[in-house]
Amino acid sequence: MTNSAFKTAAVIVAAGRGTRAGAGLPKQWRPLAGQRVADHAIAAFVTHPRVDHVLAVVHPDDTAHTDTLPIPTVNGGASRDASVLAGLNALDGQGFSHVLIHDVARAGIDATTIDAVIDALQTGADGAAPALPVTDALWRGQNGFVTGTQNRDGLFRAQTPQGFAFDAILAAHRAHPGNAADDVEVARAAGLDVTIVAGNERNLKITTPDDFARLEQHLQNDQRGPMDIRLGNGYDVHAFEEGDHVILCGVKIPHSKALKGHSDADVGMHAVTDAIYGAMAEGDIGRHFPPTEAEWKDMDSAVFLKHAVELAASKGFTISNVDCTLICERPKVGPHAAAMMARMGEIMGLATDRVSIKATTSEKLGFTGREEGIAAIATATLVKP
């Protein structure tokens, strides 16, 4: 809460009919992201620690909708400025030093924008309001044709809440003849200076039917929170032993030797599996399928990879892509890469353009250069919306 010297009320203007929003209920009572438009707008101020009191100005015909509001209400007038004045009059004498006036149709209002307005008022501004600079080219037109252009320098798109010293804006509204576009116009007519603070694109005003979908997308993104993107890496090595083939990334490849391991020793699939586990901080294959347990002897490594994929899905993650590099002198991987990508994509439920399988040599250096075994390194990207 604010201190006694700076006491702020918020007036939510919700008495309009919103005919441009299409047929049906007035827009403030229509559903939006699981609540009503008005519920979103009001909650932003009720829950804000620097707002001491919230009042809604409503239409007298909307009693069925306003009875469930968590704040007091007062009936509005025939115009927006008449409704604002009704709200200000209702607050007069209650000791508020400042007031924020907000259009209910801006249901995406955020705490940062409210803070910016209050900060400006606390530094002594007569008034403060959020706005966004106009960035599009501006035309003048008539009868469906462009008749000229307008310089956009110094032009802003106005938003609410518009905040003022309480007594000053009350006097300004009482003296104004009416039909003002907003409270900034009323304030300036009374000689008050209004500071511009940064607005927010999500603080859009619902005017047409399409605006509901636009704002709902913003609100749903907020409810989900920031996207969770994880990267994991995996590394595996298997030595050669006697045999006539190797299995790499799910594909059987004829070779003069085989890879030694407790399972089928698919070094590429093991690296990818460990990368997926690693992105979730879930250890490696050995944690989930201990090599000391006989049941995993000679097991198809697809079982391990499927488990990692299912575990990621259970945690809400989607695998965006994987990249695996096989390190060996022989066998040559290139002729089999497409089949490997297809098999790995099949197991993980990914398109082949999200599965990268490639190979490199170690220039005859080290154990891979001496053809004693094969190594693999892999990276996996997991995404939770």
The tens digit of pLDDT for each residue in 101-119 reads 999 999 999 999 999 999 9
Phi, psi of 282 (to 5 degrees): -110, 25
Please state, as a whole number, how many other Cβ atoms lie within 10 Å of the Cβ of residue 291. 12
289-319 pLDDT, tens digit each: 998 888 889 899 999 999 999 999 999 999 9
State yes or no: cis peptide before 290, omega within 30 of 0. no
Give the residue from 335, 344, 332 showing the smallest Cα distance to 306. 344
**Per-residue pLDDT for 232 more than 80?**
yes
pLDDT band with cut points at 50, 70 and 90 for residue 16:
confident
| Gap between the Cα atoms of 267 and 302, Å rounded | 12
Compute the distance between CA of residue 375 and CA of residue 333 in angstroms, rounded to an integer: 13
Residue 384 CB contacts under 8 Å (≥ 6 apart), including other chains? 227, 228, 229, 230, 315, 316, 317, 318
Rounded Cα gap, residues 350 and 353, in angstroms: 8
Instruction: Determine the pLDDT at residue 227.
Output: 78
Domains by residue range for the chain, with CATH: 8-224 (3.90.550.10), 228-384 (3.30.1330.50)
Indicate the residue type of 167.
D
Q: How far apart, in whole angstroms, are the C-alpha atoms of residue 204 and residue 109?
A: 8
**pLDDT at residue 298, as a whole number:** 87
